[in-house]
């Protein structure tokens, strides 16, 4: 990697407030406007994590040009306008005139294209140490480490994530982290989640271990300001959960348990109730899948205690579903039904600004899918099939992995419920998606369905499904 250290001083460029964007916000608060941005993103199948802080940065002029995902969302919200009409600078002026070499080019999943101003009152901030003459927007070395190394992370190829420190950097003295490093870490979490939603975990897990080491190296190096340190702790914890989920979904339960525990420890060290609730949520899910239903119940209840002060009804709904899954594993139908009722009640309160960014996957489709899993565990196959079918019908096609998951769930419920021909049809739908999705969990579910259908080979469509399933390459 080429050195990014500046050899001569760079002039300060104070940001200009984006008054055009402020006028478009109108009387809405930054949080209300951020919620509108997230809704608009969902309408066009994009995923952005807009919050009041991001809106404030845009209006202050710190974000001179949004990344491509935000650009599509803003142009969808304000049809007929250009980025310039919205108060942003032309992309070419933000990126600089001189072309970068291939090894320094960023991929499609780039972070905010910002002009991150330094806090001139804080001598420990280090953004200036990493700025280049040609492009002040890529000012910190970690953002390069996260987003470059010759990897664009094309969704179809699932190429290397390129999120680790390079070998040379590993031996250099650690510098205090700044806002640029925190932003790069947050963006890495978003990219991993996006790729997982589209393609499943199997092709991502091993590549995601390196950025996690980087994140904890940043924590060890320290930060110049408490606000930055808090972002780093939250980002590292969320990354640990994301990597843990990749391990979980690819069948590496011991690895997942270790990553979730690391996230929980990070949350408690920093007093982060939101991160603690997220860690316990995933621990409950893992315990259920690993055959430890009582632990699943207790972890879900711990998550609810942590989440209750946060004010997110949707989060409480999801955590109630996690608890329901544990009760189902204990064959406690009453406990399961009570938790399901709570989940539905919380869900009906609707979304709010307090909903965590990581919950973008949780909508009516996921609610139906998780309830289907509860009824399946309790052996109520017809009821499970109804909910699994509804989940597939409601699912946004952007979440390809979930579409495959719901199809696999439906196929298994139908097969065990004595409807082999319909099960084969649902199984074929799932197989059609496996070219895009790599998930050991889904492969395991389909293998179980195939075993149930073997005695019904002569039923309509079953033989075709079994033959096609038998021809699948075995997951590594």
Average pLDDT over residues 448-463: 92
**Separation of first and last alpha carbons in the chain:** 32
Task: Give the contacts of 158 (CB within 8 A, at least 6 positions apart).
Answer: 195, 199, 203, 204, 438
67 or 325, greater pLDDT? 325
CA distances from 453 to 185, 260, 267 (A): 46, 36, 45
Query: What local confidence, expressed as pLDDT, does residue 147 receive?
Result: 36
CA distances from 250 to 22, 57, 98 (A): 45, 38, 42
Distance CA 95, CA 107 (A): 13
pLDDT confidence tier of residue 189, bands split at 50, 70 and 90: confident
pTM: 0.63
Query: What local confidence, expressed as pLDDT, does residue 203 receive?
Result: 54
Average pLDDT over residues 16-45: 88
Does 413 have pLDDT greater than 60?
A: yes
Distance CA 469, CA 416 (A): 18
Q: Say what percent of the chain tops pLDDT 90.
A: 41
The token pair that represents 189 in the structure block: 């979490």
pLDDT confidence tier of residue 6, bands split at 50, 70 and 90: very low
Q: State the residue for tokens 């009722």.
A: 341
Tell me: the pLDDT tens digits for 419-444?
A: 999 999 999 999 988 877 777 788 88
Does 210 have pLDDT greater than 80?
A: no
Query: What local confidence, expressed as pLDDT, does residue 175 receive?
Result: 63
pLDDT confidence tier of residue 204, bands split at 50, 70 and 90: low
- Residue 458 — φ and ψ, nearest 5°? -80, -10
Q: Which of 67-71, 134-138, 370-374 has the highest mean pLDDT?
A: 370-374
- Please say whether the beta carbons of 41 and 49 come within 8 A: no
Average pLDDT over residues 219-242: 80
Does 34 have pLDDT greater than 80?
A: yes
Task: Work out the mean pLDDT of the chain and round it to a whole number.
Answer: 77
- Please say whether the beta carbons of 221 and 181 come within 8 A: no
Average pLDDT over residues 65-72: 85
Helix (H) or strand (E) holding 274: helix 273-289
pLDDT confidence tier of residue 207, bands split at 50, 70 and 90: low
Does 89 have pLDDT greater than 90?
A: no
Category of 322 on φ-ψ map: left (φ > 0), alpha (ψ -120 to 50) or beta: alpha
pLDDT confidence tier of residue 195, bands split at 50, 70 and 90: low
- Lowest-confidence range among 132-146, 221-235, 293-307? 132-146
107 or 463, greater pLDDT? 463
Q: Helix, strand, coil shares of the chain as percentages rounded to 5?
A: 65, 0, 35
């Amino acid at each position: 990697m080429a050195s990014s250290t500046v050899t001569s001083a760079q002039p300060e460029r104070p940001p200009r407030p984006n008054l055009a964007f402020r006028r478009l916000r109108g009387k809405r608060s930054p949080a209300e406007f951020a919620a509108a941005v997230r809704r608009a993103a969902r309408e066009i199948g994009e995923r952005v994590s807009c919050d009041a802080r991001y809106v404030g940065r845009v209006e202050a002029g710190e974000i001179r040009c949004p990344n491509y995902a935000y650009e599509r969302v803003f142009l969808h919200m304000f049809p007929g306008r250009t980025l310039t009409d919205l108060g942003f600078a032309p992309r070419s002026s933000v990126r600089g005139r001189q072309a970068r070499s291939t090894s320094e080019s960023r991929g499609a999943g780039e972070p905010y294209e910002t002009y991150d101003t330094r806090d001139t009152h804080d001598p420990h901030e280090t953004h200036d140490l990493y700025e280049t003459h040609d492009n002040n927007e890529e000012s910190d070395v970690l953002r390069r480490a996260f987003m470059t190394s010759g990897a664009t992370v094309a969704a179809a190829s699932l190429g290397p994530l390129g999120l680790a420190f390079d070998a040379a950097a590993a031996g250099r003295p650690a510098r205090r982290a700044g806002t640029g490093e925190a932003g790069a870490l947050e963006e890495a979490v978003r990219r991993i989640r996006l790729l997982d939603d589209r393609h499943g975990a199997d092709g991502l897990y091993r590549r995601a271990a390196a950025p996690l080491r980087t994140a904890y190296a940043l924590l060890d190096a320290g930060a110049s300001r408490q606000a930055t340190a808090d972002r780093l702790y939250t980002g590292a914890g969320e990354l640990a959960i994301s990597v843990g989920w990749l391990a979980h979904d690819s069948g590496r339960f011991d690895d997942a348990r270790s990553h979730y525990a690391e996230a929980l420890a990070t949350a408690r060290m920093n007093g982060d109730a939101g991160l603690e609730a997220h860690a316990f949520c995933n621990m409950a899910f893992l315990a259920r899948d690993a055959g430890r239903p009582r632990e699943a119940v207790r972890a879900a209840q711990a998550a609810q205690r942590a989440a209750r002060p946060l004010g997110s009804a949707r989060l409480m709904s999801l955590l109630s579903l996690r608890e329901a899954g544990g009760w189902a594993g204990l064959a406690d139908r009453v406990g399961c039904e009570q938790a399901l009722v709570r989940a539905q009640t919380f869900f009906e309160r609707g979304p709010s600004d307090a909903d965590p960014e990581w919950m973008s996957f949780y909508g009516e489709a996921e609610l139906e899918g998780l309830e289907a899993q509860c009824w399946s565990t309790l052996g109520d196959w017809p009821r499970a099939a109804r909910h699994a079918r509804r989940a597939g019908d409601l699912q946004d096609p952007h979440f390809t992995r979930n579409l495959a998951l719901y199809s696999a769930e439906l196929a298994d419920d139908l097969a065990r419920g004595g409807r082999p021909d319909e099960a084969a049809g649902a199984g074929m739908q799932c197989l059609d998606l496996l070219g895009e999705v790599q998930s050991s969990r889904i492969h395991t579910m389909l293998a179980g369905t195939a075993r149930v259908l073997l005695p019904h080979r002569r039923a309509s469509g079953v033989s075709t499904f079994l033959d096609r399933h038998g021809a699948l390459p075995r997951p590594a």
